[in-house]
Structure 1
Amino acid sequence: FGPFGEHAVNASWIAVQELEKLGLRDGVELHVYEVPVEYQTVQRLIPALWKKHSPQLVVHVGVSGMATTVTLEKCGHNVGYKGLDNCRFCPGSQCCVEGGPECIDSIIDMDVVCRRVSALGLDVTVTISKDAGRY
């Protein structure tokens, strides 16, 4: 996601740009997009990108002013959105996707990912969260 609130630069966007420079292994296509922090743009753009690329894996990254580690999210919520986006808009329903599930759980075992990254001995702390927050 792009900048929002007190974050003039979204650190996750900087990290994704670095990953794009490095690339992934041969045969793996990496598509990188900076998504504006705007409910209505996200509702249009994300489905269009899924349709365009038919991805096998999508990783959304964001930033938290409270996080002190790289945080792997186990689920994303669809309800309880009360904050205004960069356009000063908030859905009246407080839902991202009308009629969508309350929570979408990752099919990736984040506990295993966390253990594997930690075992690499990198100078990065990785933790797990069950609450990806809301804008």
Structure 2
Amino acid sequence: MTNSVKPCVLITGFAPFGGEKINPSWQAVQALEGLNIDGFAIHTKELPCEFDTSISVLQGAINKYSPHVVLCIGQAGGRADISIERVAINVNDARIADNAGAQPIDTPVVATGPAAYFTNLPIKRIQQALHQSDIPASISNTAGTYVCNHIMYGLMHEITLHHQNIKGGFVHIPYLPSQAVHHNGAPSMSQETVISALKVIVTAAISNKTDLKVTAGTTH
């Protein structure tokens, strides 16, 4: 294992999938490579949009950098704001095939794993910090059943078993405007706003040891 010279944050984005030429998650994440936020070095990694392989690549990056915080970012076309995921469930149920052609249906992410994992990020403080920065954000109670949920579950399983000092979680972002024009009526968010949001998220994640006790439930 290679230890970083200074404390660090690992942020991942995904390769394009589903016919898209770009993935806004990686477009934004790669812009943060090499930055220093509040004394934490930022390292980034592009993950393949593939079941199982994505988890292996993430595990390799965690072992390489020994981060204090891991943020996995993914695209959620149709969502209008920064969606901070609360929970990942132990199921793969792919509406479309991944980039390797795999389309698991009703299979577990980890055969012997629990039904779900909750993020250990201070998600409500993150939401508050984003709102204070005039960036639309909400707590999401479903990360779906595709590769995004898969990687969040895999991340939290890895943290639970081997890296309990790491804080980790997943954030969904909307389409970029250049994508939304091809999806009639779909909301979008500029890359500049997403990059700003990621910086706010990193700052909130590393500076808060406890979360707020405020409601962020949904009725739908």
TM-score using structure 2 length: 0.54
2:107 aligned to which of 94, 103, 116: 94
Amino acid at match of 1:56: H
Q: Deviations over 1:22-63 (max 9, x none)?
A: x13263122111101011311321222222222211000000
1:105 aligns with 2:118: yes
* Cα distance in structure 2, aligned partners of 1:53 and 1:26: 18
Question: Which residue of the partner structure matches residue 7 of structure 1?
Answer: 20
TM-score using structure 1 length: 0.84
Q: Deviations over 1:48-91 (max 9, x none)?
A: 22222222110000001121111111112221423421111134
- Give the % identical residues: 30
C-alpha deviation, 1:112, in angstroms: 1.8
- Structure 2: gaps of 5 or more residues: 1-13, 147-220
Taking a change above 3 Å as real, the CA distance of residues 99 and 92 of structure 1, as seen in their structure-2 partners, is farther
1:126 aligns with 2:137: yes
- Counterpart of 1:8 in 2: which secondary structure? coil
CA contact (8 A) 1:43 1:96 kept: no
When the two structures are aligned, how many residues end up with a matched partner? 132
Question: Which residue of the partner structure matches residue 66 of structure 1?
Answer: 78
Question: Which residue of the partner structure matches residue 52 of structure 2?
Answer: 40
Amino acid at match of 1:28: F
C-alpha deviation, 1:8, in angstroms: 1.9
- State how 1:15-26 maps to structure 2 within 5 Å: 15-20=28-33, 23-25=35-37
Amino acid at match of 1:59: L
**Runs of at least 4 residues of structure 1 off by over 6 A?**
none
* Cα distance in structure 1, aligned partners of 2:21 and 2:37: 32
Taking a change above 3 Å as real, the CA distance of residues 49 and 98 of structure 1, as seen in their structure-2 partners, is farther
* Cα distance in structure 1, aligned partners of 2:121 and 2:31: 23
Q: Deviations over 1:74-119 (max 9, x none)?
A: 1122214234211111346622222222222111221221112201
- Counterpart of 1:55 in 2: which secondary structure? coil
- Counterpart of 1:43 in 2: which secondary structure? helix
CA contact (8 A) 1:73 1:130 kept: yes
* Cα distance in structure 2, aligned partners of 1:65 and 1:131: 14
Taking a change above 3 Å as real, the CA distance of residues 90 and 43 of structure 1, as seen in their structure-2 partners, is farther
What is the RMSD computed on CA atoms of the aligned residues?
2.0
C-alpha deviation, 1:132, in angstroms: 0.9
* Cα distance in structure 1, aligned partners of 2:92 and 2:104: 10
- Counterpart of 2:83 in 1: which secondary structure? strand
2:91 aligned to which of 76, 79, 82: 79
